[in-house]
Structure 1
Amino acid sequence: MSKLKLYQNIEFDRLRHIQDPLADQLVSQLIKNPELITLINSWIEIPAKIENSFPQEFQDYFNFYLTQNDIPGEVLVKGQKIFNEKGDLYLAMLGFYSLPYAYAFGDGAEVLVRSKRILSDIGRRLGETGSFILDIFEPGAFLTKNKAFLTCAKVRLIHGFSRYFISHYASDWDDDYGKPINQEDLIGTNLSFSLIVIRGWKKMGFTVKSAEVDLIMGYWKWVGRMMGIQEHYWPDNAKEAFQLEKLIRKRHLKSSDAGHQLIQALISYYKTTIPDALISSQVEPILNFFLGNEASKALNIQSSNPVSGELLGLVFKFSGWKTYGSNKGYSQIARQFESNQKALYGERLEIKLPELNRS
């Protein structure tokens, strides 16, 4: 059955008031029992058995991950193969298209800007996003390696903490934004990490086979399930994906102070940290190229220098070759990523729940 009938304002108005009860119930317990936060942060993967001595919310949450028995093995293996071949281009699109595009959606940006770390410590925040992507696309992830389950579980709980703190302490939150990190926002974020990446590749003239589109969208359907997204609304084909993104864009793409703060922080960071001068000197034109006129206008990105998509594709390919060499693959990308983080922060950035002050 086609999902196009679901992609209506009335349906998505409803989704703006639905969050993630399973994660939110556990966050309420973690606030009361911060020692459990320390415990989760100490795990390398979710233990094979969750003891009955833990609170029921704790058991329910992690047993969700331990009882998944319909894992789409073929989709995961083939999706990881795509990342192994194009991982550098995948990460490039996240930084230059997916994240900036999300900033152009005003109501969702209101959540992001209230996380002060995104503005004051953007490098670490971007590094953590990269760690998330590398964990979920690691060869064997969700199949022979279980770390990805814990990574998704922790990111999902981080969303829950954001909802908790906004609902309890953000006196300036406007109900017109919808509930913080609601189902529509989660679906939109998932699209920015999947469909928008594919769109970016196509903008640079790269051939993307229909089978690759289906695999990437199928991969993120699975990741969406692990992140608490109602997969009933996730598109089953390219046509549905196009219509879903179009609906959310029409509903929420708009200028906002929050979006302007986020994009300016990102631009400043890129200009001062990207080692490739061909890219760092052309940040605004590159963003303008990927985002297009409407989103660029919403984010107040102005550039009088048009960028050639094919030339930009060559620049990104050359940058990847300089960084990873001719044997580029997951291992080389992960190793370089870790090396960069250790040089900047003295450690590889891992996804961690916020430790609460117990004083």
Structure 2
Amino acid sequence: MSKLHLYTNSLFDDLRQQQDELADRAVSALIQNPDWVKTINSWERIPDKLSQDFSKEVTDFFEFYRRKDSSDVRAILERGQQFFEENGDFYTALLGFYSLPYCYAFADGAEVLVRSKRIIDAIGERLGETGYFVMEIFRPGAFISDNRAYLVCAKVRLIHAYSRYFIKHYAKDWQSAYGMPVNQEDMIGTNIAFSQIVLRGLFKLGISIDEAEHQAVLAYWRWIGELIGIDVNYWPETSKEAFELDKLIRSRNIRASAAGQKLIGALLSYYRKAVPDAALASQVEGIVSFFLGKEASKALNLKSKISFQGDLLGLFFKLNGLKNFGAKKSYTTLKRALDQQQIQQFGKLMTIQLPVISRS
């Protein structure tokens, strides 16, 4: 049954007031028990037997993942991982040049992001963590023969809940007009940015994606969305539904904000310093503006006057990928290159760790 009837302002007004009770209850317990956080951060995967010291809230949260069975979606997972195997270099580039700036153009959602000092002051590390998340969820065999990605999704979900907790308890300037922090609409919009918007970016680069591939990527992110606390009843299954969902979210959320402009300023400044290719680094504002289009670029106050042709930019990305990742594209070569970049830049590989809050 088509989901187009769900994409209405009234229903999405409701979603702005909905969050993720399972994760929120767990974080309330973790805040009171920082030693439990240290235990979770020491895991490589969710263990078969959880600590008996954990409260019911924390145990219930991780039991959600232990009960997940990927056997019914194995074909979906394999297709999604194969798509990333073939397009991972473009995929990761578009996350940085299109998906993240796109999220910054969502004024109310940007109010959450700008309140995290790490996004502004340590943006490189934050991007590294996002890259780690994407590489782990698309790792060959993830959720099928390799269950490490369940823990990665659980941590991302808990970090969202930490953000909600700290805004609720400490952000004196939070306004009800923003909606509830890290609400269901914002989470769905972010999931769209990491799936539908990447596919749109590929199209802008002159790379054709057929309907079967489109649906495969959407189905993969439905699985991820459920694991990170999204109400997937609203998740699109076809390119038409994805187009209409994104259209609705854009119309509701894209507008100028000081928060969004501060975020994009920090991102572009980082790119100009960190992107190894000098030609690419000098054109980052124009490239981001090319992908975003006029409406989102205006919201973020991007003023690039450079006109790009998508096929030529796609060729440039391809040549840059050949230089960085080699002629044989694969998950392994991409991960090796990204790992080397992180070690050179940060002196370590980035992972996702829950914050340990010392009680005083």
TM-score normalized by the length of structure 2: 0.98
What is the 5 A alignment of 1:238-257? 238-257=239-258
**Equivalent pair of 2:99/2:194 in contact (CA under 8 Å):** yes
The amino acid of 1:237's aligned partner reads: T
The yes-or-no answer on 1:54 pairing with 2:54 is yes
| Whole-angstrom distance in 1 between the partners of 2:215 and 2:31 | 40
Distance in 2 of aligned mates of 1:70 and 1:207? 29
Report the counterpart of residue 282 of structure 1 in structure 2: 283
Residue deviations 1:102-123 (CA, integer Å, cap 9, x gap) = 0001000000000010000000
Alignment of 1:18 onto 2:30? no
Q: Residues of 2 paired with 1:134 and 1:333: CA distance?
A: 9
Specify the SS of the correspondent of 1:293.
Answer: helix
Residue segments in structure 1 that go unaligned for 5+ positions in a row: none
Instruction: Output the amino acid matched with 1:16.
Output: R
Match of 1:94 in 2: 95
* CA–CA distance in structure 1, aligned partners of residues 100 and 61 of structure 2: 28
What CA distance in whole angstroms lies between the structure 1 residues aligned with 2:270 and 2:144? 36
- Cα deviation 1:124-169 (Å, max 9, x = unaligned): 0000000000000000001111110000000000000000000000
Partner of 1:340: 341
For 1:128, the equivalent position in structure 2 comes to 129
Q: Is the 8 A contact 1:271 1:281 kept in 2?
A: yes
Q: Report the 3-state secondary structure (helix = DSSP H, G, I; strand = E; otherwise coil) of the residue aligned with 1:118.
A: helix
* Superposition deviation, residue 278 in structure 1: 2.2
Which residue pairs with 1:294 in the alignment? 295
Q: Give the conservation status (yes or no) of the 8 Å contact 2:114–2:262.
A: yes
Aligned residue runs from structure 1 range 147-162, under 5 A:
147-162=148-163
Query: Which residue does 2:261 correspond to in 1?
Result: 260
Between the aligned partners of 2:160 and 2:309, the Cα distance in structure 1 is 37
Deviation at 1:70, TM superposition (A): 4.9
Pairwise CA distance, 1:309: 0.6
Task: Kindly indicate whether residue 108 of structure 2 is the aligned counterpart of residue 104 of structure 1.
Answer: no
Structure 1 segments of 4 or more deviating over 3 A?
Answer: none
Aligned residue number for residue 200 of structure 1: 201
Is residue 58 of structure 2 the alignment partner of residue 44 of structure 1? Answer: no
Whole-Å separation in 1 of the counterparts to 2:54 and 2:104: 38
State the SS of the aligned residue for 1:328. coil
Counterpart of 1:163?
Answer: 164
SS in 1 for 2:344: helix
Which residue of structure 2 lines up, in the alignment, with residue 355 of structure 1?
356
Deviation at 1:303, TM superposition (A): 1.2
Q: Which moved more, 1:187-196 or 1:51-60?
A: 51-60
Q: Give 1:51 shift.
A: 4.4
CA contact 1:194–1:220 (8 Å) conserved in 2: yes
Report the secondary structure of 2:48's partner residue.
coil
Aligned positions, number: 359
Q: Is 1:113 the equivalent of 2:142?
A: no
Preserved CA contact (<8 Å) 1:278 1:315: no
Matches within 5 A, 1:307-326: 307-326=308-327
Give distance in 1, aligned partners of 2:69 and 2:51: 20
C-alpha offsets along residues 225-246 of structure 1, whole Å, 9 cap, x if unaligned? 0001001000111111110000
Q: Could you list the per-position Cα deviations for residues 192-246 of structure 1 after superposition, in whole angstroms to 9, with x for gaps in the alignment?
A: 0000000000011111121110100000000000001001000111111110000
- The TM-score with structure 1 as length reference comes to 0.99
Sequence identity of aligned pairs in percent? 54
